[in-house]
Amino acid sequence: MAGIITLVVRTGIFTLYEEFFHTRGRLLSHPLTASLVPELDAFRPKLDASLTEELALIGERFAANAAVEFVDDDLDRLTDAIAALTLIESKNDRGALPYAHYFGSQRPSELKRPILGGQLDTMRHWPPSLQTASSQQLQTIGAALADLVERADQKTTTQAAVSQKIADFRTLGSRKQLVDEFNALRKSLHGKLGEIQHKTPELGTGWADSFFRPGSSAERLTVKELDRRIAAAEVELLAMKKQRDEKVAQEEAVARARADAEKTQKKAELQAAKKAAAELAARVAELEEAVGESQ
């Protein structure tokens, strides 16, 4: 007998199920081995328990990721609001204060690109100056940002903790114990199958080995298959980069449009104020003239 592979700790749960059912199907289908099925089936509840545990962890991961993404959305909205308001105060000059104080040479869309990460590290320093700004709107945003930074820290801490739980589960915890037990069971079954093969020469060499898959999914990959997967991944990466560039351009266009709209509104308010001031000045002059004539 050539022997069987030892499953590694990193083996995924569904690959473990495939190994299980491959062996079970062959044991069940051969008259000389059907009696070994109960021994293998006794291991099934442990597989199911591991799957349930991993699914729960996956659920935690998606919930943690979603919480981080929602906080990031809120942070992006505040970024846009701060950019629009400070750009108005800077008279649309990105090199002037207060806009340059927060963004420097960086565009808001560039700051928003990572999910939290560098954006959070940058913006956590903004609340003090925003809360003392001359603009009431910026003061309000500063208070909101301070609360949001605290919430973002909580969500990223939770996300990191969940990721660590999954890593520990797969490499140190119950998954490792499961793989170790499965390897021991497979080795025991392989030995019993070897005895049957030895007692029944007509079964031929390799018969006992056939009850186990010849290698893990990673070991069965050929160079050609790996090249195919790499090519497919590169195509997907290019598509994602294009999508990202389009998204950046879209966000920049929205930010410019918002800034232009704010500027147009301010100009309209200024013109209205000038008109009202002119009318008031004319009325004052009219009254002064009337008073002078009456005297």
Instruction: Please say whether the beta carbons of 128 and 102 come within 8 A.
Output: no
Count of other CB atoms within 10 angstroms of residue 259: 21
What confidence tens digit (pLDDT) does each residue in 53-101 have? 999 999 999 999 999 999 999 999 999 999 999 999 999 999 999 999 9
Instruction: Give the contacts of 17 (CB within 8 A, at least 6 positions apart).
Output: 47, 51
Q: What is the pLDDT of residue 225?
A: 64
What confidence tens digit (pLDDT) does each residue in 100-128 have? 999 998 889 889 887 887 899 999 999 99
Q: What is the pLDDT of residue 294?
A: 46
What confidence tens digit (pLDDT) does each residue in 215-261 have? 644 455 567 767 777 887 888 888 888 888 877 777 777 777 777 77
Mean pLDDT of the chain: 89
Count of other CB atoms within 10 angstroms of residue 171: 11
Q: Of 97, 79, 78, which Cα lies nearest the Cα of 87?
A: 97
Lookup: tokens for 286? 């009219």
DSSP E strands: which ranges in the chain? none
* DSSP state string for 14-50: HHHHHHHHHHHHHHHHSTTTGGGHHHHHTTHHHHHHH
Q: Give the SS3 label for residue 250.
A: helix
